[in-house]
Chain A
Amino acid sequence: MTMPVVSEKERKPLISLKGMIKVYGAGQATMQALRGINVDIDEGEFVAVMGPSGSGKSTCMNILGCLDTPTSGSYCFKGLNVGNLSRVYRTRLRRFYFGFVFQGYDLLSRTTALENVELPLIYRKEPSKARRAKARKALEIVGLKGWEKHTPGELSGGQQQRVAIARAIVTEPTVLFADEPTGNLDSARSREIMDLLTGLNRDKGVTIVMVTHETDMAAYAKRVVHFVDGLVSSDETCGR
């Protein structure tokens, strides 16, 4: 857990993006997905990132989660310039600070819910007993007690997404990145997932960055950032 320590006195935002640019492709076929994004996110916030498809919201989230690298611009996490970090250190950020929930759930197939949730803990070298206990607890939090032995193929979409959320929160991450977490679910299931996320944000203080294109879902967030054509078009904090 050797992360460079930053002094607590400077009240810096948890996440700070400045002039973030991401270009896909090369030569004539280049596509600018992000054209200079400036966003600050504080610890404990619940931010919804909205925008039409192709506006760069997912790209931005992937860069925030260190799943992708920007073409230029600076990204500071806890005051630490992520752009200067090596692959190994960016992996450590993911391992110890980030959790991910994707639209397609992205669980390991033919693997039980419990083993899926255990996976991040294996990489964190948790001893097997503690690992299993934590994974069971996480599944209980998302309301899947008794479903530990089921594989993704035996679970519904909503249940799979809850397993994914359990896998993301089992490590007690600082930030939870959710890319269209309700994209594949009906409205009732979506509300369950959103209640779960708001609960995590409220009770455990997990910072949540959620990409969505549904206004209903964005309404759960305290702050909504709108993307249009790779730029931030509006940034509103609602008084909920």
Chain B
Amino acid sequence: MFWNMLLLALREIKRNVLRSVLTTIGIVIGVAAVITMVTIGGGATKQIKQMIEGLGSNLVVISPGKRMGPGQSTDVIPFSLADVEAIYRDINAVAAVSPVSTISFKAIFSNQNWTTQVTGTDNQYFNVTNRTIKSGRLFNESELRIGSSVCIIGETVRQKLFGGQVALGEHIRLQKLNCEIIGILDEKGQNTMGMDQDDMVVIPIITYQRRIAGNLYISLIQVSVQNGASTEKVQRDITHLMREQRHLSDSDDDNFTVTDMKEIARMLTSTTKMLTGLLSAVAAVSLLVGGVGIMNIMLVSVTERTREIGIRLAIGAYELEVLMQFLVEAVALSSLGGLIGIFLAIGASIFLSGVLRVPFIFNANIVGVAFLFSAVIGVIFGYFPALKAARMTPIDALRHE
């Protein structure tokens, strides 16, 4: 019975090559478009999330000067190590606080030189920014206290200055400062703004202040908030504390800015999500248009098919056999279209994720949904006109105009 129906369905597909191909293409395009859009969109969202997580979770950044706005002048009063200690001591729910001062400098090793970002900070910095050491070690207590000439370098700097050579234990020169490499950071790649996060040299903050800046200032304070604690509250507390530290009266504006990185993260994530939603909506429309195309092809051929069904009934086909044949045909075409669409979508997604530098994430749900949708359309519009015809008396179907 089944083989018979398969034989009849295959003959039907062979007879109506154009109709079959058009039906299949409708499904292929719809399925491929939806899956590709959702996969790429999902990859982009994932990428942005990874980047944000890379920033350091629950990061709050305190910078001197007020939030810039139109017609405002900036009177920058830098922070000091006392501010860092005050925050660590007085604010609850703070996991780590690190002072950060940076300057762009030329790093020199033998005859190689490379302009990079020199950061003065302490060991907390690595916790706050989620960095780990690939080889070597962190600064030790005495190095931090006395301001030794030691540094930890990023992968980009290591490559530019040392290439294949061993960097650990060597000395690089930062202007007048000649410092020993005690550690190499794990790679992190670009950040959200496209900056290379491995292009850096980290030295103790005291070393930075004494040997490079020549003052006791700190340009930024980075605070990481304990997991589960409210960053908003920490933000408020820090503002309050800093106003006290700086002896601001009630009428004075803040002359510093406390930024919650989570806020920025949320903004970026919601933007990507919105874009993904938009793309998916466009793709869903193409799936729908594909469906309408199938509908069109199937309904146009109803008259021809009704007469064929009449012939089959007259020759001695059961109603059930005719229906099974058309069902098998519809399912075969829809599944074929769906499968081609899925392979096409996976190919396109891998290609696009390569071009757009977005991770490829296979989303089984959307593949299932798109496949089911197309199959249902194919079956409904392939099967139901046949159902109507097969229920007629044979002569009515045969003489259908």
| Interface 1/0 per residue, A84-110 and B, CB below 8 Å | 000110011011101010100011111
Total A-B contacts with CB atoms under 8 angstroms apart? 70
A110–B315 Cα distance when bound, in Å, is 18
A108 engages B4 (CB within 8 Å): no
B311 engages A108 (CB within 8 Å): yes
Where the two chains meet, the residues of A that have a C-beta atom closer than 8 Å to any C-beta of B are: 62, 65-69, 87-88, 91-92, 94-96, 98, 100, 102, 106-111, 115, 119-120, 122-125, 167, 171
B395 engages A100 (CB within 8 Å): no
| Interface 1/0 per residue, B53-75 and A, CB below 8 Å | 00000000000000000000000
B8, B15, B310, B398: which contacts A122 (Cβ < 8 A)? B8
A95, A100, A110: which contacts B16 (Cβ < 8 A)? A110
Given the contacts A62-B395, A67-B393, A123-B316, A106 and B8 also touching, CB distance less than 8 Å: no
Chain B residues lying within 8 Å of A119, measured Cβ to Cβ, are 312, 315
Chain B residues lying within 8 Å of A62, measured Cβ to Cβ, are 395
B400 to chain A, nearest CB (A): 12
A62–B16 Cα distance when bound, in Å, is 30
* Residue B7 lies at the interface, judged by CB distance under 8 Å to chain A: yes
Interface size on B, residues (CB 8 A): 26
B 345-400 contacts with A by CB, 8 A: 393-396, 398
Binding site secondary structure of chain B: helix
Most chain-B CB neighbours within 10 Å: which of A65, A67, A87, A110? A67
B4, B308, B311, B312: which contacts A125 (Cβ < 8 A)? B4
B194 to chain A, nearest CB (A): 59
B 1-23 contacts with A by CB, 8 A: 1, 4, 7-8, 11, 15-16
Given the contacts A67-B395, A122-B7, A125-B4, A94 and B311 also touching, CB distance less than 8 Å: no
B305 to chain A, nearest CB (A): 11
* Residue B158 lies at the interface, judged by CB distance under 8 Å to chain A: no
A124–B321 Cα distance when bound, in Å, is 11
B313 engages A91 (CB within 8 Å): yes
A99 to chain B, nearest CB (A): 9
A123–B311 Cα distance when bound, in Å, is 12
A91, A111, A167: which contacts B317 (Cβ < 8 A)? A91
A68 engages B316 (CB within 8 Å): no
A122–B283 Cα distance when bound, in Å, is 43
A144 to chain B, nearest CB (A): 18
A94 engages B318 (CB within 8 Å): no
Chain B residues lying within 8 Å of A91, measured Cβ to Cβ, are 313, 316-319
A167–B316 Cα distance when bound, in Å, is 12
B315 engages A94 (CB within 8 Å): yes
B321 engages A123 (CB within 8 Å): yes
B11, B308, B319, B398: which contacts A87 (Cβ < 8 A)? B319
A68, A92, A111: which contacts B11 (Cβ < 8 A)? A111
* Given A69-B393, A123-B315; 20 other pairs, CB 8 A cutoff: A62-B395, A66-B394, A67-B313, A67-B314, A68-B394, A68-B396, A91-B316, A94-B313, A95-B316, A100-B314, A100-B315, A106-B311, A106-B314, A106-B398, A109-B15, A122-B7, A123-B312, A123-B316, A123-B321, A171-B316
Closest residue on chain A to residue B315 by CB atoms: A120
A62–B395 Cα distance when bound, in Å, is 7
A108–B316 Cα distance when bound, in Å, is 15
Chain A residues lying within 8 Å of B15, measured Cβ to Cβ, are 108-111
A108 engages B308 (CB within 8 Å): yes
Chain B residues lying within 8 Å of A65, measured Cβ to Cβ, are 314
Closest 6 CB pairs of A and B: A95-B316, A67-B395, A67-B394, A94-B316, A120-B315, A68-B395
Chain B residues lying within 8 Å of A111, measured Cβ to Cβ, are 11, 15
B159 to chain A, nearest CB (A): 67
B264 to chain A, nearest CB (A): 64
A107–B304 Cα distance when bound, in Å, is 12
A184 to chain B, nearest CB (A): 15
A123 engages B317 (CB within 8 Å): yes
| Interface 1/0 per residue, B295-317 and A, CB below 8 Å | 00000000010011011111111
